[in-house]
Structure 1
């Protein structure tokens, strides 16, 4: 099955040689599951010719906010709406989670509750999971047709399901501990020290396998997976 990765940003250059870019991380996460991948750097306006250029789409994280004025954002929202209309399944992670919600009529804000970084506890599809996170923005108003599929104490819309069209999550199953360490060192400035210390203390607790299983199942059988998440 061919998956198109829509790259909405790049990992920090100082960590890229060791950990790769965001598309590399997703390819590692989903390796051995019968997928082939094409990558499009949509942040630089490298878009697929059609929503049918792949059998499924995966939208990555980004340092940008979905509410910011960047040339790629409106075009990506149009692509998302076209994929919805064509019923090509999409998975969104962090920024990808937020941009799908915004494109479909939801609202995303810089959350007054602040940041969550490193390993955090979630329940997704009724299943407890510990997953790495790195975000302050959140979906606060759901778009029409979206159902909450996952939550935690800080983020009430930590995962959303849009019938068989999209499955989106706020945490980062693709982020390994070493990459979180790099973010702490190179992008941790705005994050309060106590949250960085907590992230360091929980190093090694995140386990993305269960969420990778959910993503695989959604791409291969969206209808059945959606029914299992609602």
Structure 2
């Protein structure tokens, strides 16, 4: 049976010294999802897929940029996502979560709560077919922007007091998105905080939080089940 074709829409990358140690965001996505998929990576600042049908599904990565910034590639990506609606499965991570919301009628802004870093806990409000029995997850985050207006035909699956719109599921297309970073290994998340230490609140506490158990593999399993069209066991 042919492998599911996954297009990784890379919207930015880690600082150069961290990319040399940990790989780029596309590499992190491949490690998160594992084998069993045929991967293709697109640097969205250079080129987007000619048609959504090039791949079965697309993952939109995180980025240092904000969706409201004046970059031609952001406008082009938003236009492409609108074209892709209903024609391929879509998964958004952090910036990907935000740019999908903008593309489909929501709004993103820099949060007055400031930076979210370290390990955060999301409460889960429902269990979709691709999720398991968890009531909450502990997951790395790194963001200062948030979705402040929901796109039509979307619903909040999980979130926190700090970030209400933590996980979205779309009702009018096969699409899900996450504000958190299930692809961030703790060592990378710590190194990223160190690289931004001078502009982050309480970086030492955030770094210490990443020593606690997390649910990265659980969330990766949710994404794999969504991509594969499989329902989770509810035992």
State the TM-score, normalizing by the size of structure 1: 0.91
Aligned to 2:210: 203
Deviations 1:36-61 (A, max 9, x none): 2100010x222111111100000000
Matches within 5 A, 1:48-127: 48-86=49-87, 88-124=88-124, 125-126=126-127, 127=134
Task: Supply the RMSD in Å over aligned alpha carbons.
Answer: 1.6
Structure with greater proportional helix content? 1
Query: Aligned residues, how many?
Result: 220
After TM superposition, give the deviation of residue 27 of structure 1 in Å: 0.3
Aligned to 1:35: 37
After TM superposition, give the deviation of residue 188 of structure 1 in Å: 2.8
After TM superposition, give the deviation of residue 122 of structure 1 in Å: 1.1
After TM superposition, give the deviation of residue 85 of structure 1 in Å: 4.1
* Structure 1 counterpart SS, 2:199: coil
* CA distance, structure 1, for counterparts of residue 90 and residue 26 of structure 2: 15
Paired residues of 2:57 and 2:89 also in contact (CA < 8 A) = yes
After TM superposition, give the deviation of residue 145 of structure 1 in Å: 0.6
Which structure 2 residue ranges, 5 or more long, are not aligned? 128-133
* CA distance, structure 1, for counterparts of residue 61 and residue 208 of structure 2: 26
State the TM-score, normalizing by the size of structure 2: 0.89
* CA distance, structure 1, for counterparts of residue 103 and residue 162 of structure 2: 23
List structure 1 runs of 4+ shifted beyond 3 angstroms. Answer: none
* CA distance, structure 2, for counterparts of residue 53 and residue 113 of structure 1: 39
Which structure 1 residue ranges, 5 or more long, are not aligned? none
* CA distance, structure 2, for counterparts of residue 110 and residue 189 of structure 1: 19
Matches within 5 A, 1:75-224: 75-86=76-87, 88-124=88-124, 125-126=126-127, 127=134, 128-163=136-171, 164-192=173-201, 194=202, 196-205=203-212, 206-221=214-229
After TM superposition, give the deviation of residue 187 of structure 1 in Å: 2.2
Bigger mean CA deviation after superposition, 21-30 or 197-206 = 197-206
